[in-house]
Chains A and B, each alone.
Chain A
Amino acid sequence: MFIPVIDVKSAQYSHLIYRRLTEIDVQSKLLPVETTLNDLIKMRADAVILSGGPPRIFESLGELSNLIEIVLNFESPILGICISHQLIACAFGGKAGPAKTPEYGPVVIYIDDKNEIFEGFNDQFIAWASHNDEVYTPLPRELKILAHSENCEVQALKHLSRPVYGVQFHPEVSHTENGLEIFRNFTSIVKA
């Protein structure tokens, strides 16, 4: 299985995503932010993970249009983290922007919908976040909220009919409880 990671502009944790995938014996590779849908198809990616990163979502939708095209048209599973989670919401017509209460460090995540990406998780767990922006509600019709935290309504989302997932927190950092399980669950979705 080959799951590349698109690094959104020298993100702090994109290389950690790569590390987590290799830890569960998935072949991976870090790709630059300019990567296109065609590149992914050509390299026969079985899925793709889009990293977090420093850009602010409301200023960056134009320059990240190649990633929006991937989200809309790549037929294999997609997992977007942090800014890429916000980008997924925007790609389907939702809105994202500055968070009323930004979160840095540990937050409690409450699972609203125990979906395949949260298979095996307790109803709540501690994850680490680092975001200035967030996804606004209501979500577009084809997206669904999977989890929230005290200060952030959309901590995780999925598309209703396609294997597209987003998480606002960082499952790849070592302080997130059972973070590796999110990647395991994602690879199970890829296999299915």
Chain B
Amino acid sequence: MNFQALVDGIVDMIRRETKGKNALVALSGGIDSTVTAILSKIAIGDKLKCVFIDTGFMRERDFKDVDYVSNKYGLDVEIINAKDEFLSELLGRSDAEEKRRIFREIFYSVLGRKFKEAKCKYLIQGTIASDWIETKGGIKTQHNVLKQIGIDTVKKYGFKVIEPLADMYKDQVRELAKFLGLPRKIYDRQPFPGPGLLIRAVGKLTERKLDLARKATEIVEKELAEMNCSQYFAAVIDNKWSIDERASIELSTRIVERLTVKRMDTYATGIKGDLRVYGRIAALMDENIEEKTIPQLVQLQAILISKFSEYTRVVYNISRGNEKRKHAIIVRAVVSSDLMTANVAEISMNRLCEVAQKIKDEVGDFPIYYDVTPKPPATIEFE
């Protein structure tokens, strides 16, 4: 790719679209919005303002990264605290898509108010190809996709949306970030969803679940940092289940040893044949953990999901935990360049058990599972 021509083209486009007026970029600390802000700064200089909306679902490092970028590139960033607004609307909500849609509505209402106050009419945002493709295809609602699904942003929120990266995938944005001279900690940064920890607190949202998702994600991010995964985090589900006898028998005959399949009550998002599926989670309980490898488990996953169509996810028990606990923790780690397909990261059982032990020590003795589902049939996030 000719990056200089690409940069010139984007800079021209931003100048043309904003017509010499002020524009706003909503930063998240992630690579897409950072690259968008830097290109916008080149294009319109002081006419650019940035905002960072504190949704209450962000991690500490998101604040740090926004701070770093704003200092390094001389961006004028205002932090808007909207935590209470998000939390009060979202506590108690269970459905993954409902959470995402409510999140989007609040996010853009908050932004809309800022636009009115700043008398600004242009929002430049870092939406990339995988965002609008998934949203248009009905797989899941990425919060930063509006016009592609027919939302008239001028009418509804009072601003026009400009998306300079809409034709690019994550790996291409990373290359562009390198070309722009961004440091490794930005261009190599793992993706973090717009609605953040909200979606990793799977099922009914409670403050307790959110807190567990935050703590467990922090540990997984630290423990797996050197494993070359593209995305690695933790999610929290309700620890309610029943035994799936048919699936247990099917798997046990396939591999000639006793495996128990728990059918979790919580639903999770998946994608089968380009269709969204909100299905069940199958949790595998195994006595012989140390003898298993990830490719074997991915194969078991394929058998289970193609035979029992209600499932979209298969997770594998890496720490038994106390079954009386109300929550269970899922560790997910995948390898993907463009986020359109993803492989389960091949981490040794030893290492996974060490990560589980860390979570047990620092967060609590919950049942802990490793997600062994590729995308498709799962999505990259766990929600």
Binding site for B on A (CB under 8 A): 10-13, 15-16, 19, 52-54, 56, 82, 101-106, 128, 130-133, 151, 170, 173-175
Number of interface residues of B (CB under 8 A): 31
Task: Give a binary string over B331-372; 1 marks a CB under 8 Å from any A CB, 0 the rest.
Answer: 000001110111100000000000000000000000000000
Partner among A10, A16, A102, A128 whose Cβ is within 8 Å of the Cβ of B273: A102
Q: Do A131 and B273 touch across chains, with their CB atoms under 8 A apart?
A: yes
The CA-CA distance from A174 to B302 in the complex, in Å, is 20
Contacts of B169 in A (CB 8 A): 16, 19
Binding site for A on B (CB under 8 A): 129, 133-134, 136-139, 169, 271-275, 298, 302, 305-307, 309, 336-338, 340-343, 373-377
Known A12-B340, A15-B129, A173-B341: A130·B274 in contact at CB below 8 Å: yes
Given pairs A104-B374, A130-B272, A132-B272, 18 additional interface contacts (CB within 8 A): A10-B138, A11-B137, A11-B274, A15-B129, A19-B169, A53-B274, A54-B138, A102-B272, A104-B302, A104-B376, A105-B298, A105-B373, A105-B377, A130-B271, A130-B273, A170-B341, A174-B337, A174-B338
Q: Which residue of B lies closest to A151 (CB)?
A: B306
The CA-CA distance from A75 to B134 in the complex, in Å, is 33
Q: Which residue of B lies closest to A107 (CB)?
A: B302
The CA-CA distance from A54 to B138 in the complex, in Å, is 10
Q: Closest CB of chain B to A7's CB: distance in Å?
A: 10
Partner among B139, B298, B336 whose Cβ is within 8 Å of the Cβ of A12: B139
Contacts of B298 in A (CB 8 A): 105-106
Q: Closest CB of chain B to A131's CB: distance in Å?
A: 5
Q: Do A175 and B343 touch across chains, with their CB atoms under 8 A apart?
A: yes
21 pairs, A vs B, C-beta closer than 8 Å: A10-B133, A10-B136, A12-B139, A12-B274, A53-B274, A56-B273, A101-B307, A102-B272, A102-B306, A104-B272, A104-B374, A104-B376, A105-B373, A105-B374, A128-B341, A130-B377, A132-B272, A132-B275, A170-B341, A173-B341, A175-B341
Q: Which residue of B lies closest to A13 (CB)?
A: B340
Q: Closest CB of chain A to B301's CB: distance in Å?
A: 8
Contacts of A133 in B (CB 8 A): 273
Q: Do B306 and A106 touch across chains, with their CB atoms under 8 A apart?
A: no
Q: Closest CB of chain B to A49's CB: distance in Å?
A: 16
Closest 5 pairs (CB-CB, A-B): A104-B377, A105-B374, A132-B273, A54-B274, A130-B376
The CA-CA distance from A41 to B184 in the complex, in Å, is 48
Known A104-B306, A130-B377: A54·B338 in contact at CB below 8 Å: no
Q: Do B274 and A173 touch across chains, with their CB atoms under 8 A apart?
A: no
Contacts of A101 in B (CB 8 A): 306-307
Contacts of B342 in A (CB 8 A): 175
Q: Closest CB of chain B to A151's CB: distance in Å?
A: 7
The CA-CA distance from A101 to B138 in the complex, in Å, is 24
The CA-CA distance from A99 to B377 in the complex, in Å, is 15
Q: Which residue of B lies closest to A23 (CB)?
A: B1
Contacts of B275 in A (CB 8 A): 54, 132
The CA-CA distance from A101 to B298 in the complex, in Å, is 16
Contacts of A103 in B (CB 8 A): 302, 306
Central interface residue in B139, B275, B305, B309, by most chain A CB within 10 Å = B275
Q: Do A12 and B134 touch across chains, with their CB atoms under 8 A apart?
A: yes
